Amino acid sequence: MEPGETAIKDTSNDLRLGQVQLHQEVELISIDLPDDQAEPFFERGFLPGCRICPVRSSPSGDPIVNIDGSQMAIRRETANCLCVRTLSDL
């Protein structure tokens, strides 16, 4: 990309956090939620560029991730609103 050019984002094919395998570190691209629902995530460090690593699943299959040294449990449906990319894509 040339400097100044902005990429048009097509998020439909992006990897979602809910699909990431355990212990695979990924990087957050964007959060597909309205501002007021996304803010709690921003506050807790879920910002574009941050590293997230799922460490386990809850008994009902909701991912528990490591981010900035904290552990967060996210509902499956919510995790599918977080667009991420695996580090090997960089």
Number of residues counted as binding another protein (CB under 8 A): 38
In contact, 53 and 24? CB cutoff 8 Å: yes
For position 44 contacting another protein by CB under 8 A, the verdict is yes
Separation of alpha carbons 10 and 4, rounded Å: 19
Return the number of the residue (3 or 61) whose C-beta is nearest another protein: 61
- DSSP 8-state assignment for residue 2: -
Separation of alpha carbons 30 and 33, rounded Å: 9
Instruction: Give the distance, in angstroms, between the CA of residue 16 and the centroid of all CA atoms in the same chain.
Output: 7
Query: 45 to 84, contacts with another protein by CB under 8 A?
Result: 45, 47-50, 55-62, 64, 66-75, 77-78, 81
Return the number of the residue (70 or 88) whose C-beta is nearest another protein: 70
Binding site for another protein (CB under 8 A): 33, 35-45, 47-50, 55-62, 64, 66-75, 77-78, 81
